Structure 1
Amino acid sequence: MTQRTWLITGINSGFGRHMTEQLLERGDRVAGTVRNLNSVDDLKTAYGELLWVTHLDMTDTPEVFKVVDEAFKQLDKIDVVVSNAGYGLFGAAEELINDQITHQIDTNLVGPIQLVRASLPHLRTQGGGRIIQLSSVGGQSAYPGGSLYHATKWGIEGFIEAVMGEVEPFNIGLTIVEPGGARTNFKQQAAKMAPKLDAYDISPTAVVRKSLEDSTVPPIGDPAKMVKIMIDSVDQHPAPKRLTLGSDSYQVLHQAHSNRLKELESQKELAFSTDDSKEG
């Protein structure tokens, strides 16, 4: 097995933690970022020089560029960049406060965009590489109560899909990962709620709030299995554009795409009617 070097944001929990553990266990090197440097002391103790850890706040663009530059400098070559760090902001659009909106967009959209931009010159110079962008089933479907979260996930998917074509001549492949619910600590650590407005007690938003507070029904997805598929995707050529992980994700996205296509087809005559029929 070829040893690879990975740069992964947010390795202290969730998919980032699972991925880091699997990679280190098989002997790969990981440059990992966290907001609390002490949060992965156990991994540093267990794997020593295989793990390079540094602080990164995804909302700090200058720090994003500084960390990426330093990681490539310290590790010489990085084969795979994994944009994993992020969180979910939930609540009706009217319930959200301005600071929450700004922080969600800066963390989930602007930060990953800048991470990719910072990585591309290095990947081009070394002759290629891979970028894996963690999205969600919410990257192409939308639920009441997740407007800002969906805005960031739909946004980053559009960005990544466009960049795929831009960098194809440089042997750089990009993959979007769309997992469904997984048995991580997302609800406890990565899900944030907007302040409650009683008026929305009759809205579907109230269902979202209750589901995030309910820990009695675990999600269906196995994060270890999902991460293994993400890791194995690096051996696929060309890079898969998307990975849909979890039966829940598949079913939701299949329905969403089917409904969207049906609505589009129903408007074919209307769409064509707006063409300029004049010749010349």
Structure 2
Amino acid sequence: MTTNSTTAQRTWLITGVSSGFGRELAEQLLGRGDRVVGTVRKPEAVADLQKQYGDAFRVELLDVTDGDAVRATVDRAFEGTDRIDVLVSNAGCGLFGAAEELSDDQIKHIIDTNLFGSIQTIRAALPHLRAQGGGRIIQISTYGGQVTFPGSSMYHATKWGIEGFAESVSQEVAPFGIGVTIVEPGGARTEFLGGSMQIADELPAYEGNPAHAFRGLIGVEALGDTSKMVAAMIDSVEAEPAPLRLLLGSDAYGATHQALQDRLAALEAQEQLASSTDAD
């Protein structure tokens, strides 16, 4: 993997720029002279950026759970500019609690947002990226896309799901000059933990259960510096070929490294059994 030494002005399409990584991305990119098309559900959340950056920052209203709206918004974004260099699929939400505690509505919402919404965003952009001869897709995930913790079953389900989708798509679109990067941050100093996440109603049977251990993290300052993480995401666009995964944070690296080691050891222990089931 090599990194280009010069940085050209780019146009970015980013879903979910109201807060967190999306907001920080918009601020850093606009501050360095790039152009941003950002989607929000509440335009007042970015009124200050619109006032400061004018035509360089275009805002689109979007609920990513609405597939028709996703396609219309992405089409409009590409049609309204000469070229969109980078799509950042960032919109998402969290849901925590034991699997048994989750409501059907909560499960549907997180799947529609984190999985369906991200899939539809990427699918809507692909024809445009092909037509313009390439580009870059950044899918914001989490190290929870390779590691699991109790009390996060549906969050992991959506993140493992979108990572599988993005990794497969990366192989499909590489011949068109489209690179795909899955970003896997660890804990970051955003409003997510204790802010935008949802917590299921507790069942008495799970009192003291590991499924509720996440509650101990609420209010604890995360290791990750959001500004540094976003700068690394932006820098990754200079790398050729596109890195498939970008781990950010020592907690993300440590937990993922251990999980992969454990998974590999468990796999290797089954080599003889796996081979024994081949046809004679």
TM range (shorter): over 0.9
**Counterpart of 1:76?**
82
Match of 1:53 among 28, 48, 59: 59
CA displacement 1:83-113 (0-9 Å, x = unmatched): 0110110000000000000000000000000
**Counterpart of 1:249?**
252
TM-score using structure 1 length: 0.97
**Counterpart of 2:34?**
28
**Counterpart of 2:3?**
none
**Is 1:193 aligned with 2:199?**
yes
Match of 2:181 among 175, 179, 183: 175
Distance in 2, matches of 1:105 and 1:209, equals 22
**Counterpart of 1:156?**
162
Alignment identity in percent? 59
CA RMSD of aligned residues (A): 0.8
Preserved CA contact (<8 Å) 1:140 1:253 = yes
Match of 2:46 among 40, 44, 49: 40
CA displacement 1:13-32 (0-9 Å, x = unmatched): 00001110000000000000
Preserved CA contact (<8 Å) 1:11 1:33 = yes
Distance in 1, matches of 2:204 and 2:19, equals 33
**Is 1:66 aligned with 2:72?**
yes
Distance in 2, matches of 1:52 and 1:170, equals 27
Give SS of 1:75's match.
Answer: coil
**Counterpart of 2:93?**
87
Give SS of 1:148's match.
Answer: helix
Match of 1:129 among 135, 153, 161: 135
TM-score using structure 2 length: 0.97
| AA matched with 2:277 | T
**Counterpart of 1:3?**
9
Distance in 1, matches of 2:208 and 2:43, equals 43
CA displacement 1:163-193 (0-9 Å, x = unmatched): 0110011000000000000001112432110
| AA matched with 1:264 | L
Q: How far did residue 206 of structure 1 move?
A: 1.9
**Counterpart of 1:235?**
238
CA displacement 1:222-273 (0-9 Å, x = unmatched): 0100001100111111100000000000000000000000000000000000
Match of 1:258 among 235, 238, 261: 261
Number of residue pairs aligned between Structure 1 and Structure 2: 274
| AA matched with 1:107 | T
**Counterpart of 1:15?**
21
**Is 1:209 aligned with 2:215?**
yes
Preserved CA contact (<8 Å) 1:175 1:240 = yes
| AA matched with 1:38 | E
CA displacement 1:26-64 (0-9 Å, x = unmatched): 000000000001110000011011000011101000000
Q: How far did residue 211 of structure 1 move?
A: 2.4
**Counterpart of 1:222?**
225
Segment drifting more, 72-81 vs 143-152: 72-81
Runs ≥4 residues deviating over 6 A: none
